[in-house]
Amino acid sequence: MKPSIPIVVQDLAERLRSEIVPELTGFRANNVAMTAAMLDMLGEQWDRAAAILFEENNALRALLLQGGVPAAGSAQAAETDLRVSALEAVNAELRQSLIDLQTALEQRDDGEAHALNEAIWAELRRSVERRLVASANF
């Protein structure tokens, strides 16, 4: 049997809520309830982390290409290593290149630069939206 991390984490969170929290009061009850909520968020993020990073890395590469900036280092080619740690490393490289591109664009005063800068900001907004945690209610 292969354990499904999101299912296991969800089960742990539910056990905390239904079996442990009712036995506690005050700070301890709140602390365990918050831990259960964080486990819910962890399970959700675990399930979609690679997909988010894969999608974002492709979007960042497209913006860099549009700006005439080739991605550097390991960020040049499409991912072959789909581990979250590898995708995050590529994402960091792409973001650094994007910062450099955006800095250069902000020095220009032409329509093409403004349009690309707006496209970059739109992607950064989408990046935040991708990472929103549905189970977070605060």
- The structure's pTM equals 0.82
Which residue's structure tokens are 């290409």? 65
Residue 70: per-residue pLDDT: 80
| Assigned domain for 121 exists | yes
Domain membership of residue 109 (yes or no) is yes
Give the pLDDT score at 136: 66
The 10s digit of each residue's pLDDT in 37-55 is: 999 999 999 989 999 999 9
Whether residue 137 has pLDDT greater than 70 = no
- What's the mean pLDDT in 65-76? 81
User: How many domains, in total, are found in the chain?
Assistant: 1
Average pLDDT, the chain: 92
102 belongs to a structural domain: yes
Domain annotation covers residue 76: yes
Q: Is residue 83 assigned to a domain? A: yes
Q: Kindly report, residue by residue over 12-46, the tens digit of the pLDDT.
A: 999 999 999 999 999 999 999 999 999 999 999 99
pLDDT, residue 79, reads 80
The arithmetic mean of pLDDT across residues 123-127, rounded, is 98
Q: For residue 137, is it within any domain? A: no
What's the confidence (pLDDT) of residue 40? 94
> What is the model's pLDDT at position 133?
86
Domain carrying residue 125 = 5-131
Paired tokens of 84: 């979250």
Residue 136 belongs to some domain of the structure:
no
Tell me which residue has tokens 């900036």. 69
Alpha carbon of residue 37 to chain centroid: 18
Check if the beta carbon of residue 41 is closer than 8 Å to that of residue 10: no
Per-residue pLDDT of 72-97, as tens digits, reads 776 777 788 999 999 999 999 999 99
**Rounded distance, CA 101 to CA 93, Å?**
12
pLDDT for the residue numbered 50: 95
Task: Using the predicted structure, report yes or no on whether residue 138 has a pLDDT greater than 60.
Answer: no
In a domain, residue 72? The reply is yes
For 108, other C-beta atoms within 10 Å of its C-beta total: 12
